[in-house]
Amino acid sequence: MTDFSMALNDDQKTLQEWVHGFALNVMRPAAHEWDEREETPWPIIEEAARLGIYGVDFLANAVSDKTGLSMMIALEELAWGDAGLCMSLMGTTLGVAAIMANGTPEQQMEWVPKCFGTPDDIKLAAFGVSEPDAGSDVSSLRTRAIYDEATDEWVLNGTKTWISNGGIAHVHVIVASVDPALGSRGQASFIVPEGTKGIRQGQKFSKMGIRASHTAEVVLEDCRIPGSCLLGGKDKLDEKLARVREGKKASSQAAMATFEATRPAVGAQALGIARAAYEYSLEYAKERRQFGRAIIENQGIAFKLADMKTRIDAARLLVWRASWMAATRTPFLNGEGSMSKLFAGETAVHVTEEAIQILGGYGYVREYPVERWHRDSKIYTIFEGTSEIQRLIISRAISGVHIK
């Protein structure tokens, strides 16, 4: 057992420094502007693509790290730079993760590069699961996919909501029901290529936080896509549906398989926001003087910072463990992926709120970044499974009881 180490290796340290530089020099100075504009920050995405931080090679390098840590390190730094800008870069990876989780090797080779495009011709992807009446309960999706045998096409109808990059993405991955009677086991994931008729953006949402990331409805009206756009292929889907109809367990559920793989990555982003707020408020507490002394000299402030740092480090350990487990295919027997997302998300909300308290009035106004970090943090207890749903997954895993 001599090869065990908790230290980052040279490649990981180099990656961390490189991405930190981008976060510090490109994202931080632009964060306030794009939060106010509430628009997709194309110049930032272009710069990231030019530097090699947005693109298929970056993703391939990060996920090829057998320890699973590289992607977590990069995401923490990007969200430290700014969570909204980070989501505008990472929204694409939600669609990519769905293709990687459910697509055949040929589909992965064809579509993953198309999700990112090239620095001269940038593309975005989106992953559409949530619907107005199906958020946490993904088994009740109403979007239907019907196969048209005559033309070998799938016809999609339905409305997706809260979709990151929804309607502006060049590649949409849509989860739809093929057989509604089978709930989530009757669903499949479909690629809607750029230029397809029958897909459009609905309402664009104005949000509390991560406002540089575009969030909108996606409306599908008789949207016809080639048969080859069914992820995993029709034979595999037919086999799965047959097994489920016979009462046998399906090997995986389309949407859940994707969310499992992405949870530590969501936790890593929450961690980045928490660390930004902690570092800022630590420095502030050393500088700010009241009653003739720095406010950090009061235990009431210093103990807050001690707790913030402790929780951040604990969250990082959970995120890294879950990502290591995913990379080494260690089974998640206790909902460890969910634990990482749950704890990191709630840590980000707690730490950013404490940071506002430490800054007092300065924490509450838009001239300082701390209130933005708090607004940004809240989404991490909501999307990719709310905190309650993470607790449901963990409690079911540890108890074997179907907790409701």
Strand stretches in 20-138, DSSP E = 117-118, 121-122, 125-128
The 8-class DSSP code of residue 331 comes to -
**Applying CB under 6 A, does 164 fall inside the site for ligand FAD?**
yes
* 220 near ligand FAD, rule: CB under 6 A: no
Residues in 111-140 that interact with ligand FAD by CB under 6 A: 127-130, 135-136
Determine whether 110 is an active site residue. Answer: no
373-392: contacts with ligand FAD (CB under 6 A)? 379, 382-384, 386, 388-389, 392
User: What does residue 187 show for φ and ψ, rounded to 5 degrees?
Assistant: -105, 160
Percent helix, strand, coil in the chain (nearest 5)? 60, 15, 25
Residue 113 CB, nearest approach to ligand FAD (Å): 20
* Shortest separation between residue 214's beta carbon and ligand FAD, angstroms: 9
* Amino acid at site 102: N
x/- mask, ligand FAD, residues 245-264, rule CB under 6 A, reads: --------------------
Tell me if 156 contacts ligand FAD by CB under 6 A.
Answer: no
Residues 6+ apart with CB under 8 A from 203: 216, 217
Binding letters toward ligand FAD, positions 290-329, x by CB under 6 A:
----------------------------------------
CA 220, CA 222: separation in Å to the nearest integer?
A: 6
Minimum CB separation from ligand FAD for residue 134, in Å?
7
* Angle value at C-alpha 41, between 127 and 196, nearest 5 degrees: 40
Helix (H) or strand (E) holding 115: helix 105-116
Minimum distance, C-beta of residue 237 to ligand FAD, in the bound complex (Å): 20
Which regions of 80-152 does DSSP assign to beta strands (E)? 117-118, 121-122, 125-128, 144-148
Binding residue for ligand FAD, selected from 185, 207, 240, 263, defined by CB under 6 A = 207
Provide, rounded to whole angstroms, the least separation between the CB of residue 226 and ligand FAD.
Answer: 23
In the numeric block, which tokens belong to residue 87?
A: 């989501």
Of 12 and 164, the one with the shorter C-beta distance to ligand FAD is 164
The continuous run of DSSP H or E covering 276 comes out as helix 254-287
Whether 218 and 126 have beta carbons less than 8 Å apart is answered as yes
Which residues lie near ligand FAD (CB under 6 A)?
94, 127-130, 135-136, 162-164, 207, 215, 379, 382-384, 386, 388-389, 392
Catalytic residues: 384
